Amino acid sequence: MLSPVFVPFGLTLLRQMRTVSSLAFRSLSFQQEGSPVKPVTWLTQLSRPLRFMLLLALSTVSVATVLAQGFGPAGPSAQTGHASVTASGSSQIGEPSARWHITRHATADTPIDFQTAQQGFVIVENTPLLISVNGDAGTRVAGGESISIPGGSTFSISGFGAPDTFLFMQLLPESGQQLNGANDRLLTSASFDIEPGNYDVDLVRDVLTETEDGKLPGGIAPTAIYVLIGEIEVNSARGTTNLYQGESATFDGELTVTAIADGSVYYAGFVGAALPEVATPIPPTPEPATPEPEPEPTAVPEDPTDTDGDGLTDVREAELGTDPNNPDTDDDGISDGDEVYVHMTDPLNSDTDGDWLYDGGELIKNTDPNNPDSDNDGLTDGQEYYVFNTDPANPDTDGDGVNDGDEIRNGTDPLDPNSF
């Protein structure tokens, strides 16, 4: 038994072949110049096999066109008769079930921002609106017109005068969120099964005179219908349903829509076939460039001149800030060269560790010029040498078992072994 989709396809194919044959005879006929006789069709002068082959070739283009329309990626067009597809887009459904939603939103004379994760259609009900998508300059959409909003978009809508309204029709996965800021929720359809994928979605508009019929093909999911003006009767496999202005519903399969009131206008959300996945091309990995070897830097020998003979060349003294004409710039008893290369002290600071005992004195007292408390007795080397007369290299100068710092804090004499 032939499927309902194949029957109209077969009839269309036959009509196309008949039309091509007729046009072939008409377009290929000619009248000999100056001849009073009727036009002569040179096709009739060919043998029967040649005529058949020519007509078959001419029909091939038409057949290919019908096949493409019937079995293309998006399936048959949603528009039939004088109905028209006013907007189209693609909706990504990532769940095994979905719903149709229709909401009404208010506008103002200043832009109102909306955000939508999924594709949807704006339908302007009355006065024109200015619609800007993702910051573009904006499009003027008149009453009765529509525009598709891609998924993941931010769009703003404003009026040109008094506040007005618009509709937003959207195919959403089961858990999808309707557009924010709705004044009225006109339709939330029953949940229906659908294979996860990216679907071609069309918005169809038709205007019918009284008793006039319109047709809608069956999509891969239910079709949502909203009546903008008048009253219509929808005939589907489940029976007949009347919808009045402002009402909406969803229907399965092929539909016949009949106008009950003259000038009835309806919109239909139609779901076509799943769109093929488009692979993102991966750019080829460029071959790594062979780095050119960097030239070895040419070593410039340092000027060995050491004017003051302190073990630092004049060039090095200029780098450190010391005096190339003074072998002991900070006058601490240690030459600049020894401070830098032997003792690791500061040639510009006579007391590198800040313990009040100059660096040269530390060497005399056998203390560490980089440690303010060389014997770790709680007294700085300078305090021991200049204040308490204790040995900065011996934590217990008098050998009484109590270190010098504790004796000072306890009030005993760090130089008397009997005072502790």
- DSSP sequence for 284-297: PPPPPP-PPPPPPP
What CA–CA distances, in Å, run from 128 to 57, 103, 125, 161, 162?
50, 18, 8, 9, 11
Please indicate, yes or no, whether residues 200 and 250 belong to a single structural domain of this protein: yes
Domain limit, last residue, from 222, 255, 274:
274
Please indicate, yes or no, whether residues 244 and 145 belong to a single structural domain of this protein: yes
Q: Per mean pLDDT, which range of 58-62, 163-167, 197-201, 245-249 is the poorest?
A: 58-62
Domain limit, last residue, from 71, 101, 116:
71
Please indicate, yes or no, whether residues 122 and 14 belong to a single structural domain of this protein: no
pLDDT band at 75 (very low <50, low <70, confident <90, very high): low
Element (H, E) at 417: none
- Mean pLDDT score across all residues of the chain: 83
Q: Per mean pLDDT, which range of 16-30, 212-226, 241-255, 376-390 is the poorest?
A: 16-30
Please indicate, yes or no, whether residues 381 and 270 belong to a single structural domain of this protein: no
pLDDT at 1 over 60: no
Overall average pLDDT of the 205-216 stretch: 94
Strand partners, 65: none
User: In this predicted model, which residue has the larger pLDDT, 47 or 387?
Assistant: 387
Contact 395/377 with Cβ under 8 angstroms?
A: yes
Domain limit, last residue, from 219, 253, 274:
274
Element (H, E) at 388: none
283-313 pLDDT tens trace = 788 777 788 888 887 777 778 899 999 998 9
Please indicate, yes or no, whether residues 24 and 60 belong to a single structural domain of this protein: yes
CATH number of the structural domain spanning residue 182: 2.60.120.10
Domain extent for 46 = 6-71
Quick one: what percent of the chain has pLDDT higher than 70? 80
Per-residue pLDDT, 154:
94
Rg (CA), the chain: 48
Per-residue pLDDT, 16:
44
d(CA 294, CA 275): 54
